[in-house]
Chains A and B, each alone.
Chain A
């Protein structure tokens, strides 16, 4: 499971040069717009836009592909559940079960939108260092305390991941094998409890160390943001596309015909 979505953030690209505040704001709204789309042709267009964004971010396809694959796999059950359980009469039958084309349409719509949103998320957070993205969030008026906690948590996820792997190795070296039984679950409970205690004691030391280095509630950073004309232009383009897609969607231009496929 890749926890470093910003692995390729050092690569130069039009998206990387885009001011993170504008990028986060406009693409964030774009994502919300995509989530509201109700017709397949428009979701295909949204997906195309998302692919352009990922291409413009310069992210390698195997990197992005992993996330897309996971989303597609997660949503695969919908392709079975939705057609078979869609409410109302349906003319078709598949192996004796009522098969609703409308249900299939819904599953396709959901999957297209989800993939478009994942790709856009990669474009936003894969094109900057994570702490830069968080600073942009703060500049967009996200409460400072939340941003601070996000940064802290991010920092320590990797520390505890390593700690957990060490403890796991130690357990397996002592012959522990995970099985579907109560003993396994009790051991897991103790494992998590130990992890909690060790991290809590680490917290105390961390906090005292920070205080002694002059921490007063703010991370001081050398990162600065400066907006240039191109930033406004890119944001305007993205927002215009989002409004266009939603507007066409609302007008019902592509509303499914009574006897259509989509």
Chain B
């Protein structure tokens, strides 16, 4: 869930932009132009996929899927998610320009930690481990972003304590939903196109040695 403009204090906004810049610099190291179309296309898919609504009782929620970005793009998940946040702020007309930094750290940080959780699968060997670890990654992504959002609210001021609590409560059903969705997606991709997932043999989207550059 994103935060809107006008809520967070100056220091929190600054920390958001600073943190996002640092994380972007670190996760985009040695990124060559060949990765640009690949990361962009996946970012576009996630942008579009996050518009999907899943019914939740009488209403519906839309998916965040930062965990899925993590398991597909690895560390490049951060720039991808940051791009998604920027484009949402610029294109939707719903605001969010002043909180691009905070939202990127929130969602992107969740994506990176989801990748970390996903990579833990290498230490295990049991049937359907990709579904399990994908599910854990999906839940981790949403949970971490909720925690960071709550932290940002609490740091802004104690008058936001109740809001932070409500935010965390609101994330619980979304965590459950995304655990199932991302887990099933990870299973599907493992069966159909395992190279799409980060950390798999022949992983196609991360750190592929450069093709012969056209001179």
Most chain B CB within 10 A, of A155, A193, A202, is at A193
Q: Assess the B94–A70 pair: CB atoms within 8 A.
A: yes
- Which segment of A143-151, A230-238, A251-259 sits at the interface? A143-151
Interface residue count on the B side (C-beta < 8 Å): 73
Q: Assess the B33–A145 pair: CB atoms within 8 A.
A: yes
Interface residue count on the A side (C-beta < 8 Å): 85
Q: Assess the A67–B93 pair: CB atoms within 8 A.
A: yes
Contact of B92 among A1, A82, A87, A156 (CB under 8 A): A1
Residues of A within 8 A of B10 (CB): 35-36
Rounded to whole angstroms, the CA-CA distance of A177 and B185 in the bound complex is 19
Q: Assess the A103–B38 pair: CB atoms within 8 A.
A: no
Q: Assess the A157–B48 pair: CB atoms within 8 A.
A: yes
The digit string for B82-122, where 1 denotes a CB below 8 A from any CB of A, is 01101101111111011000000000000000000000000
Is A114 part of the binding interface, using a Cβ–Cβ cutoff of 8 Å? yes
Q: Assess the A87–B158 pair: CB atoms within 8 A.
A: yes
Q: A residues 59-94 with Cβ under 8 Å of B?
A: 64, 66-67, 70-71, 74-75, 78, 81-82, 84-87
Q: Assess the B92–A217 pair: CB atoms within 8 A.
A: no
Q: Assess the B97–A117 pair: CB atoms within 8 A.
A: yes
Q: Assess the A188–B86 pair: CB atoms within 8 A.
A: no
Is B27 part of the binding interface, using a Cβ–Cβ cutoff of 8 Å? no
CB distance from A240 to the nearest CB of B (A): 20
CB distance from A155 to the nearest CB of B (A): 8
Take A111-B6, A148-B36, A190-B188 as given contacts and tell me if A195 and B159 are in contact as well, using a CB distance cutoff of 8 Å. Answer: no
Residues of B within 8 A of A130 (CB): 90-91
CB distance from A181 to the nearest CB of B (A): 9
Rounded to whole angstroms, the CA-CA distance of A103 and B90 in the bound complex is 30
Q: Assess the A157–B44 pair: CB atoms within 8 A.
A: yes
Contact of A153 among B40, B57, B68 (CB under 8 A): B40
Is B181 part of the binding interface, using a Cβ–Cβ cutoff of 8 Å? yes
Residues of B within 8 A of A146 (CB): 24, 79, 83
Contact of A200 among B86, B92, B181, B204 (CB under 8 A): B204
The chain A residue sitting closest to B131, CB to CB, is A189
Interface residue SS majority, chain B: helix
Residues of A within 8 A of B68 (CB): 192
The chain B residue sitting closest to A27, CB to CB, is B97
Is A227 part of the binding interface, using a Cβ–Cβ cutoff of 8 Å? no
Q: Assess the A192–B49 pair: CB atoms within 8 A.
A: yes
Residues of A within 8 A of B177 (CB): 185
Most chain B CB within 10 A, of A2, A133, A146, is at A146
The chain B residue sitting closest to A32, CB to CB, is B98
Q: Assess the A67–B185 pair: CB atoms within 8 A.
A: no
Q: Assess the B33–A217 pair: CB atoms within 8 A.
A: yes
Is A245 part of the binding interface, using a Cβ–Cβ cutoff of 8 Å? no
Q: Assess the A207–B97 pair: CB atoms within 8 A.
A: no
Q: Assess the A114–B4 pair: CB atoms within 8 A.
A: yes
Contact of B4 among A71, A125, A200, A214 (CB under 8 A): A71
Q: A residues 21-73 with Cβ under 8 Å of B?
A: 28, 31-32, 34-36, 64, 66-67, 70-71
Rounded to whole angstroms, the CA-CA distance of A225 and B138 in the bound complex is 44
Contact of A195 among B45, B55, B97 (CB under 8 A): B45
Is B162 part of the binding interface, using a Cβ–Cβ cutoff of 8 Å? yes
Q: Assess the B36–A200 pair: CB atoms within 8 A.
A: no
Q: B residues 36-69 with Cβ under 8 Å of A?
A: 36-45, 47-49, 51-57, 63, 65, 68
Can you identify 6 A-B contacts, CB atoms within 8 angstroms?
A118-B95, A130-B90, A153-B44, A186-B184, A199-B45, A203-B37
Residues of A within 8 A of B (CB): 1-5, 28, 31-32, 34-36, 64, 66-67, 70-71, 74-75, 78, 81-82, 84-87, 102-103, 106, 109-114, 117-118, 121-122, 125-126, 130, 133, 145-146, 148-150, 152-157, 159-161, 164, 178-180, 182, 184-186, 188-197, 199-200, 202-203, 206-207, 210-211, 214, 216-217
Residues of B within 8 A of A (CB): 4-8, 10, 13, 24, 28, 31, 33-34, 36-45, 47-49, 51-57, 63, 65, 68, 72, 79, 83-84, 86-87, 89-95, 97-98, 158-159, 161-163, 166, 177, 180-185, 187-189, 192-193, 196, 204-205, 211, 214
New contact pairs (18) apart from A148-B40, A197-B196, CB-CB < 8 Å: A5-B93, A34-B98, A81-B162, A125-B91, A146-B79, A146-B83, A149-B79, A153-B83, A161-B51, A185-B181, A189-B181, A189-B184, A196-B72, A202-B41, A203-B38, A207-B37, A216-B33, A217-B36
